C-alpha cells in the first residue's frame, strides 16, 4: 500500500489498480473516490468540485464542529462569526500522513486563525482511515487542547452511487425517524419508499444501517456504534445517489444541548465507524 499524488490536489491511497481511495487534503480532507474491485462505491460530482464557488456534492465530507445548522447563529457571542451549516472542517486544509506500519492514512485538522473566528477552542481532530478492500474503517479522535469544556458534534456525509431508486431496498434501519423537512416523527419505511422524490430523515439506529442495490448487485452496511449512532438518510434526485450519514448529534445540538458531546480539558473523544461493501 502506498500514497500517489494526482491532479487537482488529489492523492490516492493505493492498494492495487482495482482497489484504492482518492482524497483531497486541501478541500476539507475529502475522500473523493473509493474503488472496490473496479466498482465506484461513492458518488462524486467532479464538475461541481472544480467550481469552488459551489458546495461539494459527493465523496465523504467531514462535519465538524456541528452537524446540520444552528437556530441561534450567535452561539459564542458577538465576537465570533456564525458557524455555517455542517461547520468549517469541510472547508479547511487538512494535513495527512501515511502510517507504513499500520498501512493507514491519518488526516489531521488543528485549530487555526480561521477556525478561531467561528469556534473559541483549541483542538486537534484526527481521522485514521484503514482500507481493507471491502471495508473502509474510520477511527476518529477529537482532542480538546483548551482549558475549558469543549462542546462538539461530529459527522460524516458519505454519498453512495446507486443504479436507480427503484433498485434500492433498505434492509436494516430504525422503525421510527424524524422527517427533517417538517420535524415530524414518522415510520421510517414510509419515507424510504419516497427516496426518488427527495428525503431527509434522521434516526437513532442500533448502530447498523444497510441497503441493497439490486442493479449493482451489492449491499452497503454502515456500522456506527454509540455515541456515533445517529444515521441520516438524504437523497437529492435526479442525482443517482443516496447519503447514509453517521452523526453524533442532531441539528442545533450545540444550541439546545441535546446529545451534545462535551470534552474535558486536555482530554479526547473517540468515535468509530465503518462501511462494508458486499457483492451479492
Beta strands 268-279; 135-144: pairing state = antiparallel
> Is pLDDT of 73 > 90?
no
- 235 pLDDT band (50/70/90 cuts)? very high
DSSP code at position 240:
S
Per-residue pLDDT tens digits for 85-137: 999 999 999 999 999 889 999 999 999 999 999 999 999 999 999 999 899 99
| Start-to-end Cα distance in the chain | 27
User: What was the pLDDT predicted at 188?
Assistant: 98
Q: Where does the pLDDT of residue 239 fall: very low under 50, low under 70, confident under 90, or very high at 90 and above?
A: very high
Q: Which residue has the cell 469552488?
A: 52
> What are the two backbone dihedrals, phi and then psi, of residue 83, each rounded to the nearest 5 degrees?
-65, 130
Question: What would the pLDDT profile of 3-24 be if each residue is shown by its tens digit?
Answer: 998 887 999 999 999 999 999 9
Which pTM does this prediction carry?
Answer: 0.96
Report in angstroms the alpha-carbon separations of 25 from 9, 34, 82, 170, 230.
Answer: 7, 15, 24, 32, 26
Q: What pLDDT does 164 receive?
A: 97
As a whole number of angstroms, the distance between CA 57 and CA 129 comes to 21
The answer to whether 210 touches 219, Cβ cutoff 8 Å, is yes
pLDDT at 74 over 80: no
Categorize the per-residue pLDDT at 58 as very low, low, confident or very high, splitting at 50, 70 and 90. very high
Report residue 186's pLDDT band, with 50, 70 and 90 as the boundaries. very high
Distance CA 238, CA 162 (A): 11
Q: Is 17 exposed, middle or buried (0-12, 13-18, 19+ CB in 10 A)?
A: exposed
Specify burial of residue 123 (Cβ count, 10 A radius: 0-12, 13-18, 19+). buried
Average model confidence (pLDDT) across the chain: 95
Question: For 210-235, what is the mean pLDDT?
Answer: 98
In the prediction, which pLDDT does 237 show? 96
Q: How far apart are CA 53 and CA 49, in angstroms?
A: 9
User: What are the Cα distances from residue 41, in Å, to 59, 159, 160, 242, 276?
Assistant: 9, 9, 6, 11, 10
Domains of the chain from N-terminus onward: 2-279 (2.70.98.10)
pLDDT at 72 over 90: no
pLDDT at position 55 is 80
Task: Say whether pLDDT at 269 is over 80.
Answer: yes
Amino acid at each position: 500500500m502506498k500514497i500517489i499524488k494526482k491532479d487537482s490536489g488529489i492523492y490516492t491511497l493505493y492498494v492495487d489498480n482495482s482497489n484504492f481511495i482518492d482524497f483531497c487534503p486541501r478541500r476539507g480532507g475529502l475522500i473523493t473516490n473509493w474503488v472496490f474491485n473496479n466498482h465506484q462505491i461513492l458518488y462524486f460530482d467532479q464538475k461541481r468540485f472544480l467550481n469552488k464557488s459551489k458546495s461539494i456534492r459527493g465523496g465523504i465530507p467531514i462535519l465538524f464542529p456541528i452537524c446540520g445548522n444552528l437556530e441561534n447563529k450567535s452561539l459564542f457571542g458577538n465576537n465570533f462569526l456564525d458557524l455555517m451549516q455542517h461547520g468549517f472542517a469541510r472547508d479547511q486544509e487538512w494535513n495527512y500522513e501515511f502510517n507504513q506500519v499500520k498501512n493507514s492514512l491519518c488526516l489531521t485538522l488543528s485549530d487555526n486563525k480561521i477556525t478561531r473566528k467561528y469556534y473559541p477552542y483549541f483542538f486537534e481532530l484526527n481521522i485514521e482511515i484503514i482500507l481493507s478492500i471491502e471495508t473502509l474503517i474510520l477511527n476518529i479522535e477529537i482532542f480538546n487542547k483548551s482549558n475549558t469544556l469543549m462542546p462538539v458534534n461530529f459527522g460524516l456525509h458519505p454519498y453512495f452511487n446507486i443504479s436507480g431508486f427503484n433498485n434500492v431496498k433498505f434492509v436494516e434501519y430504525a422503525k421510527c425517524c424524524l422527517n427533517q423537512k417538517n420535524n415530524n416523527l414518522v415510520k421510517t419505511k414510509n419515507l424510504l419508499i419516497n427516496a426518488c422524490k427527495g428525503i431527509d430523515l434522521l434516526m437513532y439506529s442500533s448502530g447498523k444501517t444497510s441497503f441493497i442495490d439490486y442493479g449493482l448487485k451489492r449491499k452497503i452496511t454502515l456500522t456506527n456504534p454509540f455515541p456515533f449512532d445517529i444515521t441520516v438518510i438524504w437523497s437529492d434526485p435526479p442525482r443517482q445517489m443516496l447519503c447514509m450519514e453517521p452523526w453524533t448529534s442532531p441539528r442545533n445540538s450545540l444550541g439546545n444541548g441535546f446529545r451534545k458531546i462535551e470534552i474535558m480539558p486536555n482530554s479526547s473523544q473517540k468515535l468509530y465507524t465503518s462501511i462494508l461493501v458486499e457483492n451479492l
